[in-house]
Structure 1
Amino acid sequence: MSLPPPTAVLEGGRKAAIQSRRKNLTFDKVSFMAVFLGIPLAIYLVFVIWPFLQAFVYSLTDWSGFSPNYKFVGLDNYARIFTDDQFLKALSNNVILLIVVPLVTVVLSLVLATLVTVGGSSKGQVKGLRNSSFYRVVSFFPYTIPAVAIGIMWGQIYDPSGGLLNGALNALGLNFKDYAWLGNTNTAMWCSIFVIIWGFVGFYMVLFIAGIKGIPAELFEAARIDGAGRFRTAVSVTIPMIRDNIQTAYVYLGIFALDAFVYMASLFPNAGGPENSTLVMSQQLFFTAFQRGQFGMATAMGVILALATLLFSGLVFLVNKLTGGSEGGRL
């Protein structure tokens, strides 16, 4: 008896698979996909993708923001932006924030999280420092304060005439009378960075604590038996096991550093700091749109800011993958 050719067998198998899929597409499955996949996708397209496409179109126009009339100017807005000294200054300030804020915040949060979870006695059960719950609450407290309130509060602390900081330094015998921390180009940006980090460290410390709590205690005990110190344990056990948490924190902090509008506007309500030393792109976008009435150019700045955010997030994920991030949870 002759056997059917291989092509006929493959074709028959393909048809059977298609028919089986069609039979499996019941009303329940179709309705489930429509509700839990179709509706969220439609909402995402309408409220995320479509506004971004609209913004890109407006960035190619000379729209004033308050008139239905505008004309297309092509890439002129983008060309003008990258020859604008103020925008380039704002871009450089955002780069400084992007380098310093995520790195320092993640390192400090990781150190604090390690101390309150596994930084206790090197003998007996693996545990954190004594009264670690108290340190956790105190560290998280700044994150519960609105960013605007934090900016106003630290603006008062930095006040040159009656601020708490100058008063404390003068009480210690240091001559900082009437020193304008936020009015000096050498200190304004670094004082702002300190405020931002102060406001975020507690939250990311709690994020890392949750990740460290999920690491089996046997791994820390094995590292201790092998003679690993606290630093070696953190590098070889803690960081690899919570690598995804660190990546998430870095991405969110980087996105914030590329914005930073609320903190900068609260600390410097009138302008972008002394000689624009703290001006960021989101502030320049706001001034261009609502003070100059150049919404087309402001929208182009927004597009650049969005692309910079996507580029940064992509780089973080790429670096994490190239350095073995996909194997972070397996030792």
Structure 2
Amino acid sequence: MATRVLPGGGVPAAARRRRKKLTFDKVSFMAVFLGLPLVIYLVFVISPFAQAVYYSMTSWGGYNNNMPFIGVANYVKLFQDDIFMISVRNSVILAVFLPVITVILSLVLATLVTIGGSSRGQIKGLRGAGFYRIISFFPYVIPAVVIGLIWGQIYDPSSGLLNGVLTGMGFDGLKSYPWLGDSRTAMIASMVVIVWGFVGFYMILFIAAIKGIPAETYEAARIDGAGRFRTAISITIPLIRDNIQTAYIYMGILALDAFVYMSVLNSTGGPGNSTLVISQKLFSTAFAKGQFGLACAMGVVLAALTLIFAGLVFMVNRLTGGSREVNE
């Protein structure tokens, strides 16, 4: 398109801006802050995922260069495998319940230690709130393997702390109850361990978000007669909604994996595969059976479930008004 010339022979300012030459500063800025991160993302994120998709369409054994291409045969085999479908079901169960339980508990605790104190005077948390923060965050600094080993001892049917306490309280029927050895309780017991390990971290995350809400907002709600529950529902949750969404997604991703916790608590997948998750099945398929192509297909399925989960969370947040600003 021809450049429009002004009556005096000049060129419009917009055209001059379009024709402005790239300087070294601009080129170097784009290379460092745009080009370099893009290259790193392509090399370390997109490229491995693309390779995994390709390997999932081969019968690669993992220890040689022989990779016969078999198309979608691995995916057909997966969805005809009853044990794999059980692992998918268990992973979905964890993704549904773990984020809900963890986020709710963390939000309740964060509210108590920040604004759950006396309803008179200055807005503050419960007495000794600092101590509660340290105690609740402590499990997060313990490695997941250690947490699994500790709780494995607590759940021990013969000498575990849990059965000892319950027996001391009069529940004699639970004297030797195998919490991780019964298909009815193995998944619930495993979920308790994961929640215990992460509730403190997300509590600290929500505490930081709540601290960013002006105290005048809570003062106004108190003057209007709003109770603690009403204040949490109408003020706290809407104002830290983005933090809740982020926490929910991260906890959901962890729940879909859960490899370390499940492997330590029940390395074989629990009674009747009741605690078997996709990552456990993937690991055993690759390194115990030497079927790396099939294991890559499991990894692709797990990645797809993770993307679907994150997409659903964003969609629900948008449909429920998360994209709109909170009314003053």
Taking the aligned partners of 1:14 and 1:237, their CA distance within structure 2 comes to: 54
The CA RMSD measured in Å over matched residues stands at 1.9
Q: 2:49 aligns with which of 48, 52, 59?
A: 52
Aligned residues: 324
Q: How do 1:100-119 residues align onto structure 2 when only pairs under 5 Å count?
A: 100-119=97-116
Taking the aligned partners of 2:290 and 2:169, their CA distance within structure 1 comes to: 50
Aligned to 2:261: 263
Aligned to 1:238: 236
Cα separation, partners in 2 of 1:24 and 1:326, compared to 1, 3 Å? farther
Quick one: which amino acid aligns to residue 24 of structure 2? F
Q: 2:245 aligns with which of 224, 230, 247?
A: 247
**How far does residue 171 in structure 1 lie from its aligned partner after superposition?**
1.4
Aligned to 1:43: 40
Q: 1:92 aligns with which of 63, 73, 89?
A: 89
Q: 2:176 aligns with which of 159, 175, 178?
A: 178
Aligned to 2:151: 154
Aligned to 1:288: 285
Cα separation, partners in 2 of 1:294 and 1:215, compared to 1, 3 Å? same
**How far does residue 172 in structure 1 lie from its aligned partner after superposition?**
1.5
Contact 1:211 1:245 in 2 (8 A): yes
Aligned to 2:217: 219
Partner deviation per Cα, 1:155-200 (whole Å, 9 max, x = no partner): 0000011111111111122112221110000010000000000000
Structure 1 runs not aligned, ≥5 long: 1-5
Match status 1:65 vs 2:34: no
Taking the aligned partners of 1:66 and 1:223, their CA distance within structure 2 comes to: 65
Structure 2 runs not aligned, ≥5 long: none
**How far does residue 32 in structure 1 lie from its aligned partner after superposition?**
1.1
Aligned to 1:195: 193
Taking the aligned partners of 1:272 and 1:13, their CA distance within structure 2 comes to: 77
Deviates more, 1:153-162 or 1:310-319: 310-319
2:20 partner SS: helix
Q: 1:316 aligns with which of 307, 310, 313?
A: 313
Contact 1:243 1:328 in 2 (8 A): no
Taking the aligned partners of 1:251 and 1:112, their CA distance within structure 2 comes to: 20
Aligned to 1:3: none
Q: What is the TM-score with the length of structure 2 in the denominator?
A: 0.95
Contact 1:63 1:69 in 2 (8 A): yes
Quick one: which amino acid aligns to residue 305 of structure 2? A
Quick one: which amino acid aligns to residue 316 of structure 1? V
**How far does residue 19 in structure 1 lie from its aligned partner after superposition?**
3.9
Contact 1:242 1:328 in 2 (8 A): no
Taking the aligned partners of 2:318 and 2:166, their CA distance within structure 1 comes to: 46
Quick one: which amino acid aligns to residue 287 of structure 1? S
Match status 1:301 vs 2:298: yes
Taking the aligned partners of 1:38 and 1:137, their CA distance within structure 2 comes to: 42
**How far does residue 325 in structure 1 lie from its aligned partner after superposition?**
1.1
**How far does residue 327 in structure 1 lie from its aligned partner after superposition?**
2.3
Taking the aligned partners of 1:329 and 1:68, their CA distance within structure 2 comes to: 57
Taking the aligned partners of 1:184 and 1:280, their CA distance within structure 2 comes to: 17
Partner deviation per Cα, 1:302-322 (whole Å, 9 max, x = no partner): 001011111111111111112
Taking the aligned partners of 2:5 and 2:95, their CA distance within structure 1 comes to: 59
Taking the aligned partners of 2:37 and 2:181, their CA distance within structure 1 comes to: 47
Cα separation, partners in 2 of 1:18 and 1:291, compared to 1, 3 Å? farther
Quick one: which amino acid aligns to residue 201 of structure 2? F
Contact 1:288 1:297 in 2 (8 A): yes
Percent of aligned pairs sharing the same letter: 67
Q: 1:163 aligns with which of 160, 165, 169?
A: 160
